[in-house]
Structure 1
């Protein structure tokens, strides 16, 4: 039975997404050079500590590269992951984008609109979050809280298997989820139900090309920045590591190809996944402008850390 409280793309949106795929492959969206030139780089503050960022193990799923980014034909297929990360700070260890739960296809993916399921259904042997932590030698009890970059199924479904784990959420992202009759699909609300939630705002100064920030621990080692578009209030996590600054960018982009070649997501499945395509395009401009200063790690990019 269809859940009336789950968001569904319209038939028109589905048709536009499919029709736009070949068009975008041949005529990708052109960068807004005026907007790019208007961006101010506010630089990076000096961090008072460093953190360790651990990429949890996951299995690859090969997808056609033209379904990742417009106007990109090679390589013909790109490895796609559902990455989760653990960040170790002297004050806390936290889980970024808790990934997927056991039996995720039945418990979360089955809620997705059928056209989106075709594009995003993971492998049946996808590694769930508790397996991933165990394979990395990290006990559940070592995790102090979870910090999703945004509230989509493949970034929070793992919380279904981590009951009671506190979650830190960007306040407007939480409002987007709870303040509408239509929820994000894929079991997002159940994943956040009955657990401690700490809401935060990005009320700090500009960092690099990002207009708002939050210094999570007060020592500039972990700074949250706004990356809106994929969801209305997606964030990125800028971490200062021993090897330099990295930005865990969530789904602001799906691949480094987008940042390096300045390409927006392909319309299918991009139009079914992005909440605000124009805002996502602006965010890509901000990422492209700082690509040589920080290592940008999209959640689904096999070329991450």
Structure 2
């Protein structure tokens, strides 16, 4: 039987602004042949509400619509990854049980999990999945907590090796190189262990806010898709427009208070 394939619907970007968080996460399509001869379609994360038009166009370019998706895997419940859930009217939605428990009472330092998150997800039949759960032949769930309490990833056995769709367990290539998560809303030690776990597992990493890449044995990054990002209605010489070319990550660590979910 053919192995699953993995496709980019929407690229993720590590783009920041002095006036707010742009927060464009990756949205990934996995197509897995099943033994009966059919095709099981899985989408990992949804993007936020402002990407809905572009998401529908990306699906249409592949000859499908959101209604053709069988499973929607939410790597975690942060706003930029879950707001587009409303487009997937036929999909079974899956997430980790700790994440689903947490959204009832996010800690005050977690600005990525608004109070309305539970109200949004409660409108859908969201099912719990944990480590090793098979979503389709060759596609399984990997637990990667730390960025949030119940962050998960999708592990896909493809002809190109093991592809891991990480969500924000690995936001970008620099996180993978340093084995340090630069954006933590739950537990930094757990988050860093999860980075190492996923890097060691993968041949190809599809991160939450960057293009897909491989890491060489020496830790060098090989990007597998080209960066493409355009701004409209602003000119390079617009007064007040500035570009900060500093590539280093600025860590943001907002750990949950001890015992928050005990």
Corresponding position of 2:234: none
Corresponding position of 1:227: 144
From 153, 156, 177, the counterpart of 1:236? 153
Q: C-alpha separation between the residues in 1 aligned to 2:90 and 2:186? A: 29
Query: Which structure is richer in relative contact order (CA contacts within 8 A, separation 6 or more)?
Result: 1
From 29, 33, 40, the counterpart of 1:86? 29
Counterparts of 1:64-103 in structure 2, within 5 Å, are 81-91=24-34, 92-102=40-50
Structure 2, unmatched stretches of 5+, are: 18-22, 35-39, 214-224, 226-262
Q: C-alpha separation between the residues in 2 aligned to 1:263 and 1:57? A: 25
Counterparts of 1:161-240 in structure 2, within 5 Å, are 161-163=87-89, 165-178=91-104, 180=105, 184-185=113-114, 187-202=116-131, 213-217=132-136, 219=137, 221-240=138-157
Q: C-alpha separation between the residues in 2 aligned to 1:161 and 1:186? A: 21
Q: C-alpha separation between the residues in 2 aligned to 1:296 and 1:181? A: 28
Shift of 1:58: 4.4
Question: What is the TM-score of this pair, normalised by structure 1?
Answer: 0.57
SS of residue in 2 equivalent to 1:285: helix
Contact 1:231 / 1:276 at 8 angstroms: preserved in 2? Answer: yes
Q: C-alpha separation between the residues in 1 aligned to 2:139 and 2:12? A: 27
Corresponding position of 1:278: 189
Contact 2:14 / 2:210 at 8 angstroms: preserved in 1? Answer: no
Contact 1:56 / 1:84 at 8 angstroms: preserved in 2? Answer: yes
Residues 160 and 235 from structure 1, CA distance in 2 versus in 1: closer, same or farther, beyond 3 angstroms? same
Contact 1:159 / 1:165 at 8 angstroms: preserved in 2? Answer: no
Q: Does 1:160 align with 2:86?
A: yes
Number of residue pairs matched by the alignment: 201
Residues 58 and 298 from structure 1, CA distance in 2 versus in 1: closer, same or farther, beyond 3 angstroms? closer
SS of residue in 2 equivalent to 1:259: helix
SS of residue in 2 equivalent to 1:149: coil
Q: Deviations over 1:27-60 (max 9, x none)?
A: xxxxxxxxxxxxxxxxxxxxx7511111103485
Corresponding position of 2:209: 300
Q: C-alpha separation between the residues in 1 aligned to 2:198 and 2:87? A: 33
Shift of 1:81: 4.3
Contact 1:97 / 1:147 at 8 angstroms: preserved in 2? Answer: yes
Q: C-alpha separation between the residues in 2 aligned to 1:135 and 1:94? A: 16
Corresponding position of 1:259: 176
Corresponding position of 1:9: none
Residues 173 and 299 from structure 1, CA distance in 2 versus in 1: closer, same or farther, beyond 3 angstroms? same
Q: Deviations over 1:106-126 (max 9, x none)?
A: xxxxxxxxxxxxxxxxxxxx8
Residues 186 and 153 from structure 1, CA distance in 2 versus in 1: closer, same or farther, beyond 3 angstroms? farther
SS of residue in 1 equivalent to 2:192: helix
- Identify the structure with the greater strand proportion: 2
**Once structures 1 and 2 are overlaid, which stretch shifts more, 49-58 or 90-99?**
49-58
